[in-house]
Amino acid sequence: MLSDDSESEEENEPQEIDEESIITYYFNCGFSYEEIRGFANNPNSNCIVEQVRQRIRELINGPASSGGYRTVWHTLEMEGLRVPRIVVQDILKELDPEGTEWRKAHRFKRREYHNPGPNYAWHMDGYDKLKPWGFPIHGAIDGFSRKILWLNVTRSNNSPDNIAKFYLKTVEEHKGCPVEMVTDLGTENGLVAATQCYFRDNHDAHRYVPSPRNQRIEAWWSFFSRNRSTWWRNFFSDLESREEIDLSYDLSKECMWYCFHDLLQKDIDTVKEHWNTHRIRRSRYNTVPGRPDSLFYFPESHGGVSNLLKEVPEQEINYAYEEIVQMNQVNEYQEYFEYAREDQEYFEYAREALGLPRVPVRDTQEACELYERIKVDML
């Protein structure tokens, strides 16, 4: 009598499909008579169809799901399951029609994003594309509505205190914080993480994720690059290539900041307002259509949940300003900022002495003229 193990092994042993079953399979798949004869006369056609189907089902439900039918066919071949590629292609179309179309269009299948309503999750991140010219940017977006909560040109988006101030200002404006704060793994996010958990009295109120997983803000940065920052990058690159600016020493960088930062901030304020009031179309990615401002303030009209904001008492916000965020912390960043502050005062004195227009300037031409005058007289 066979043991249970022996019986189990017999059950798992691959069973070859007879010729009639193979012919029936290819006929149902719509192959011609000549093609069916070719498969029947080919030794590879005597395959284990159901085992192949089961293995493909396992592959498309795992990390190999992004591979096309050639990749799946080669995987099966390496595992000893020899089968014509056309069979693999057919089974993939049957079991994963959506994935087949995505691969055919050379597009990745996106993760679905789930968020019940505004203020459930805020996503924040820094943007470094303009950093080579001294203009790093930091921003945050509400996960449900995609409303931009803050978007600031800053001296450094690597300073924990600097970023925490943006967060605290927004909490103060809304009189509350989100259910969870989502950031990447950068050390500059440590103070925001601590403050968010303090406000919520819950260590799970903040979540670290790798940058690609912080998809809401990362997707918005892509929009920002396409629609705005690329112009500024080209503009500053052109100034460098024409040797109109020289960023090899600190004073020149401070001059750049003095001449351009208000103009740049005004421009991205316009981008923020435009985004928050434009209409987001319905898409296949499980996102809610509508205008970000409307989605944020009237979620019930769009199928969302309201009242998710966690109220933060004013005294707790003041405590965070005074005890958690060190407004006048003395470190290498602050020493640099103090040096920069003194330079800015000197620029203002020089502006009055030279009869230059008061900043902020109105456009890039005025900013370039201001920079050139300061460079000639000071640098």
**Residue 37 shares a structural domain with residue 166:** no
Give the CA radius of gyration of the chain: 30
| pLDDT at residue 2 in the model | 41
| Residue where one domain finishes, among candidates 292, 312, 327 | 327
What is the number of structural domains in the chain?
Answer: 2
- Look at residue 124 and give its three-state secondary structure: strand
**Residue 289 shares a structural domain with residue 223:** yes
Q: What element of type H or E holds 265?
A: helix 250-277
Backbone phi, then psi, for 100, in 5-degree steps? -60, -45
- Dist. CA 379–CA 346, nearest whole Å: 12
Query: Residue 58's domain spans which residues?
Result: 19-105
**Residue 323 shares a structural domain with residue 227:** yes
Tokens for 135, please give them: 């203009």
pTM: 0.68
**Residue 72 shares a structural domain with residue 149:** no
Q: What element of type H or E holds 137?
A: strand 137-142
**Residue 75 shares a structural domain with residue 202:** no
Residue type, 232: W
* CB contact at 8 A, 173 and 339: no
Extract the residue ranges of the chain whose pLDDT is less than 70. Answer: 1-22, 25-26, 28-31, 35-36, 38-48, 62-66, 102-112, 284-286, 326-360, 377-379
- Dist. CA 253–CA 344, nearest whole Å: 11
- Dist. CA 258–CA 273, nearest whole Å: 24
* CB contact at 8 A, 109 and 66: yes
- Dist. CA 164–CA 83, nearest whole Å: 59
Q: Output the domain CATH number for residue 308.
A: 3.30.420.10
- Dist. CA 21–CA 27, nearest whole Å: 10
**Residue 98 shares a structural domain with residue 125:** no
Q: Return all residues near 56 (Cβ < 8 A) that are at least 6 apart.
A: 72, 76, 88, 91, 92, 95
* CB contact at 8 A, 145 and 299: yes
Paired with 177 in beta bridges are 310
| Residue where one domain finishes, among candidates 284, 303, 327 | 327
Q: What element of type H or E holds 183?
A: strand 180-183
| pLDDT at residue 6 in the model | 42
**Residue 179 shares a structural domain with residue 272:** yes
- Look at residue 182 and give its three-state secondary structure: strand
Q: Tokens 């493909």, residue?
A: 56
**Residue 96 shares a structural domain with residue 187:** no
Backbone phi, then psi, for 2, in 5-degree steps? -75, 145
Whole-number Cα distances in Å, 71 to 44, 64, 87, 94? 18, 9, 13, 17
* CB contact at 8 A, 353 and 234: no
Nearest to 165 by CA among 176, 179, 150: 150
* CB contact at 8 A, 343 and 251: yes
**Residue 148 shares a structural domain with residue 192:** yes
- Dist. CA 179–CA 308, nearest whole Å: 7
| pLDDT at residue 17 in the model | 47
- Dist. CA 344–CA 329, nearest whole Å: 20
| Residue where one domain finishes, among candidates 72, 105, 138 | 105
Other Cβ atoms less than 10 A from the Cβ of 57: the count is 13
| pLDDT at residue 249 in the model | 79
Q: Report yes or no on 13 lying in a domain.
A: no
**Residue 147 shares a structural domain with residue 53:** no
- Dist. CA 283–CA 268, nearest whole Å: 26
| pLDDT at residue 333 in the model | 34
* CB contact at 8 A, 76 and 88: yes
Nearest to 116 by CA among 167, 180, 54: 180
**Residue 186 shares a structural domain with residue 288:** yes
Q: Report yes or no on 27 lying in a domain.
A: yes
Tokens for 87, please give them: 């069979």
**Residue 197 shares a structural domain with residue 168:** yes
**Burial of 166 (C-beta count, 10 Å sphere; 0-12/13-18/19+):** buried
pLDDT digits over 16-56, tens only? 445 666 677 667 666 677 766 766 665 545 456 778 888 88
- Dist. CA 138–CA 178, nearest whole Å: 18
Nearest to 189 by CA among 132, 140, 151, 155: 140
Q: Report yes or no on 347 lying in a domain.
A: no
| pLDDT at residue 41 in the model | 64
